[in-house]
Chains A and B, each alone.
Chain A
Amino acid sequence: MKHLLSTKELDAATAVGILDVADDMAATQQREVKKLPTLRGKTVVNLFFEDSTRTRISFEAAAKRLSADVISFAAKGSSVSKGESLQDTAQTLEAIGADGIVLRHSSSGAPAVLARSGWVSASIVNAGDGTHEHPTQALLDAFTLRRRLHGDAGRGRDLDGVSVLIVGDILHSRVARSNVWLLATLGAHVTLVGPPTLLPHGIGDWPVTVGTDLDAGIAEGPDAVMMLRVQKERMSDAFFPSAREYAAGWGLNGARFRALPGRTLVMHPGPMNRGFEIASEAADSPQSTVREQVANGVATRMAALYLTLAGGAA
């Protein structure tokens, strides 16, 4: 795997393979010595055109645990002004010999553009591009689900028959898009629920069920509910009338949480708006996977870096 740009492009065997490697990476992270020599001599650049301390730290930990040299590069405010900056920055990174570029960018498709550009020979790992995809987030979500559902017996397995309810701002969510493709590829049944204004136009062909009624989705008793972070600025753009009305309609409040079966997992990519899209009662319950998702993020990203960077020519 030269690049990891999206989950849309992953077939089931490849996706399960990534999760299996993540399993083995996770096991090494239980040890006292967490560092592996695997990417010794490789240089990984975290190129973030958009602030995301959480994702950057997760990738940084992953790269360091694999003994890569890590350079973090925060490129400020260059995303929408002029396209040159991605090219110029990329060529700088090429000159310093980057083997891998972990790219976070506010423009959808920037990693694909970089991978195709010829500006760099490095492998590109998409760490979130605009409202397009965030593949490692979806992989860590799938990994978390598989672990919770199958434990150590999960190796080699997909998520056949698992039902997942994804709730919130689907329109602007790269996490939702990556999860839709990956979960469907792994055999899960995905339902998307959100305000009509935050459901994208043109998703009739997506492998999902779409609705606007969260209570109806909860009544189905899904295996997992994934709450998306909602930017409160969406309110000023008139996507919904008020934060209170959003929370009343699409927040996982205490009553809704208690209406879920005890086996239903509660997921959130973080950071959470507690009391808005998710109640603390749900976020802090044993059904919540929020903290595991963070820990699993490192293992999953180790897998992504290993698979894109470790191999050579046949």
Chain B
Amino acid sequence: MTTYLIAGATLADGRTADIVLDGGIVAEVGTGLSRAGATRVDAAGLLALPGLVDLHTHLRQPGGEGSETVLSGSRAAAAGGYTAVSAMANTDPVADTASAVEQVQALGDAAGYVTVRPIGAVTRGLEGTQLADLGAMARSRARVRMFSDDGLCVADPLLMRRALEYIGGLGGVLAQHAQEPRLTVGAQLNEGPVSAELGLAGWPAVAEESIIARDVLLAQHTGARLHVCHLSTAGAVEIVRWAKARGIAVTAEVTPHHLLLTDRLAEGYDARFKVNPPLRGDGDVAAVRAGLADGTIDAVATDHAPHPADSKSAEWSAAANGMVGLESALSVVHEAMVETGLLDWAGVERVMSLAPARIGDIRGQGEPIAAGSSPELVLYDPAVRRDFSETQLHGRSRNSPYLGRSLPGRVIATFHRGAPTVLDGALLPVEEVAARG
């Protein structure tokens, strides 16, 4: 296996260091390092962060291969600086059995660009009535530790209680898509001035907050771990803050788009901006940024949700929810959190790598770059700006809300298991990455 000497990179804490990747580990971090036979990567001016870890990725395989596959999504992830993604369970068929999650795991391993960690469904077929094969998935070769019905809320309070208890017993975490279904019948857009003007059925903040409030109380009662997916409202930040202060085992994620974009973007009915939970108001954006900065929100998760073009060019109410986000996430966090002074790069390292790896119990990921750590890292040029365009999307779908927008920074290289998946800003070929086995 090739040895790499990454020279002159800036670490998250601001130190400049050379990094040696040798075989299965980061062999050495220091200054003035040299290593005979090593391939040298000049990283002067580049940030070196531990590989990014996504807790919320829709890879669409099986069933949605027209939008994305495990391979294409893995490539998009690597291009965005990720070394691990968590594949959501709402595929077709649903990932609610041991064989289903093992299949996703195997596809991820075969692709080789990132660690793919399958998320298991909480309920069979996401139907919200009967628990899925939770134990079998946890004990399978895929070793599932995160369970979610994402796309749908585990709405039934009794079922939610049972699921928390059962998953807690497996040492796992339940990731809840917090959306009260009756309060969001036909909902199209954040309920507020924009939905009122556009005549789109409102998706009120209370529909998210009431579920989170209920669930943190259930987590307290059961002692189980709860993870809140794509938290999007100011009120939800308050509830999670309150729950954490009471010692409840709750963690939360926010998406890049909820950190940057607001519902005003829906004014032209461009369904690229249609997502669930919906883009919210300015106050919500400020609140989730503050919550991420102060640790109330633990992690940034992309909710990368690929859709074919005709699902997005339709009239708003017929269009699909969701945005692709893997390739843009780091730049969006850079703009929303770093350029605003809310987070430093150590903070970015925490919310995009360390915390998600810990929440998802994703081994060999999310370790600060140091001698002996896993050789997972991204080199990022924070000094450039780029016009975000379709050429920077590497998945099968084009539904990015950032097309035509200027974003800061650019991923120069990604190393997964000690070898590059992205080098000089370009993805390595599929065969070359797959051959590493």
Could you tell me which residues of chain B, from 185 to 232, have a CB within 8 Å of some CB in chain A?
188, 191-202, 204
Q: Is the CB of B196 within 8 A of A200?
A: yes
Decide if A104 is an interface residue (CB 8 Å cutoff). no
B196 — which chain A residues lie within 8 A by C-beta? 200-203, 206
Q: Is the CB of B197 within 8 A of A177?
A: yes
Decide if B315 is an interface residue (CB 8 Å cutoff). yes
B315 — which chain A residues lie within 8 A by C-beta? 79, 83, 86, 105, 107, 109-110, 113
Could you tell me which residues of chain B, from 237 to 272, have a CB within 8 Å of some CB in chain A?
268-271
Q: Chain A interface: which of B7-15, B30-38, B41-49, B306-314?
A: B306-314
| In-complex Cβ contact of B269 among A80, A87, A108 (8 A) | A108
Highest count of chain B CB atoms <10 Å: which of A107, A204, A206 = A107
A8 — which chain B residues lie within 8 A by C-beta? 197
| A107-130 Cβ-contact flags toward B at 8 Å (1 or 0) | 111101100110000000000011
Q: Is the CB of A83 within 8 A of B311?
A: yes
Q: Is the CB of A203 within 8 A of B314?
A: no
B192 — which chain A residues lie within 8 A by C-beta? 201-202
Decide if B318 is an interface residue (CB 8 Å cutoff). yes
Q: Write the nearest CB–CB distance from A236 to chain B, whole angstroms.
A: 13
Q: Once the chains are docked, how many angstroms separate the CA of A149 from the CA of B196? A: 31
The chain B residue sitting closest to A109, CB to CB, is B269
Q: A107-B317, A112-B268, A205-B193 are in contact. Are A83 and B199 (CB under 8 A)?
A: no
The chain B residue sitting closest to A177, CB to CB, is B199
Q: Is the CB of A117 within 8 A of B313?
A: yes
Decide if B316 is an interface residue (CB 8 Å cutoff). yes
Q: A82-B314, A201-B204 are in contact. Are A131 and B191 (CB under 8 A)?
A: no
Q: Once the chains are docked, how many angstroms separate the CA of A133 from the CA of B269? A: 13
Q: Once the chains are docked, how many angstroms separate the CA of A8 from the CA of B204? A: 24
B195 — which chain A residues lie within 8 A by C-beta? 200-202
Q: Is the CB of A202 within 8 A of B202?
A: yes
Decide if A174 is an interface residue (CB 8 Å cutoff). yes
Decide if B285 is an interface residue (CB 8 Å cutoff). no
Could you tell me which residues of chain A, from 73 to 104, have a CB within 8 Å of some CB in chain B?
79-84, 86-87
Q: How many positions in chain A have a CB within 8 Å of any CB in the partner chain?
A: 33
Decide if B319 is an interface residue (CB 8 Å cutoff). yes
Q: Write the nearest CB–CB distance from B320 to chain A, whole angstroms.
A: 9
The chain A residue sitting closest to B188, CB to CB, is A108
Q: Is the CB of B318 within 8 A of A82?
A: yes
B319 — which chain A residues lie within 8 A by C-beta? 83
Q: Once the chains are docked, how many angstroms separate the CA of A108 from the CA of B202? A: 13
B310 — which chain A residues lie within 8 A by C-beta? 83-84, 87
Q: Write the nearest CB–CB distance from B68 to chain A, whole angstroms.
A: 19
Q: A108-B269, A205-B193 are in contact. Are A113 and B200 (CB under 8 A)?
A: no
Q: Is the CB of A202 within 8 A of B313?
A: no
Q: Is the CB of B191 within 8 A of A201?
A: yes
Q: Write the nearest CB–CB distance from B210 to chain A, whole angstroms.
A: 16
B318 — which chain A residues lie within 8 A by C-beta? 79-83, 86, 107
A81 — which chain B residues lie within 8 A by C-beta? 318
Q: Write the nearest CB–CB distance from A171 to chain B, whole angstroms.
A: 9
Decide if A229 is an interface residue (CB 8 Å cutoff). no
The chain A residue sitting closest to B195, CB to CB, is A202
A108 — which chain B residues lie within 8 A by C-beta? 188, 198-200, 269, 316-317
Q: Once the chains are docked, how many angstroms separate the CA of A81 from the CA of B310? A: 13
Highest count of chain B CB atoms <10 Å: which of A129, A177, A200 = A200
Could you tell me which residues of chain A, from 162 to 214, have a CB within 8 Å of some CB in chain B?
174, 177, 200-206
Q: Write the nearest CB–CB distance from B32 to chain A, whole angstroms.
A: 57
Q: Once the chains are docked, how many angstroms separate the CA of A133 from the CA of B267? A: 13
Q: Write the nearest CB–CB distance from A85 to chain B, whole angstroms.
A: 8
Q: Write the nearest CB–CB distance from A68 to chain B, whole angstroms.
A: 26
The chain A residue sitting closest to B310, CB to CB, is A84
Q: Once the chains are docked, how many angstroms separate the CA of A131 from the CA of B314? A: 17
A203 — which chain B residues lie within 8 A by C-beta? 193, 196
Q: Write the nearest CB–CB distance from B79 to chain A, whole angstroms.
A: 28
Q: Write the nearest CB–CB distance from A92 to chain B, whole angstroms.
A: 16
Q: Is the CB of A174 within 8 A of B314?
A: no
B197 — which chain A residues lie within 8 A by C-beta? 8, 177, 202
Q: Once the chains are docked, how many angstroms separate the CA of A41 from the CA of B328? A: 50
| In-complex Cβ contact of B314 among A112, A113, A133 (8 A) | A113
Q: Once the chains are docked, how many angstroms separate the CA of A201 from the CA of B197? A: 10
Decide if A64 is an interface residue (CB 8 Å cutoff). no
Q: Once the chains are docked, how many angstroms separate the CA of A82 from the CA of B319? A: 8
Q: Is the CB of B314 within 8 A of A84?
A: yes
Q: A107-B316, A113-B315 are in contact. Are A202 and B194 (CB under 8 A)?
A: yes
Decide if A301 is an interface residue (CB 8 Å cutoff). no
Decide if A132 is an interface residue (CB 8 Å cutoff). yes
| A206-242 Cβ-contact flags toward B at 8 Å (1 or 0) | 1000000000000000000000000000000000000
Q: A83-B319, A112-B268, A204-B193 are in contact. Are A130 and B199 (CB under 8 A)?
A: yes
The chain B residue sitting closest to A81, CB to CB, is B318
Q: Once the chains are docked, how many angstroms separate the CA of A132 from the CA of B315? A: 13
B191 — which chain A residues lie within 8 A by C-beta? 201-202
Q: Is the CB of A109 within 8 A of B314?
A: no
| B366-404 Cβ-contact flags toward A at 8 Å (1 or 0) | 000000000000000000000000000000000000000
Q: Write the nearest CB–CB distance from B141 to chain A, whole angstroms.
A: 38
Residues of A at under 8 Å CB distance from B?
A: 8, 79-84, 86-87, 105-110, 112-113, 116-117, 129-133, 174, 177, 200-206
> Which 7 pairs between the two chains have the least Cβ-Cβ distance?
A83-B314, A109-B269, A132-B199, A131-B199, A200-B196, A107-B315, A202-B192
Residues of B at under 8 Å CB distance from A?
A: 188, 191-202, 204, 268-271, 310-311, 313-319
Name 11 A/B residue pairs within 8 A (Cβ), A-sorted: A83-B318, A86-B314, A107-B318, A109-B269, A109-B315, A113-B314, A113-B315, A113-B316, A174-B199, A201-B195, A202-B191
Known: A83-B313, A83-B318, A132-B200; 6 extra A-B contacts, CB below 8 A, are A107-B315, A109-B200, A109-B316, A112-B268, A113-B269, A174-B199
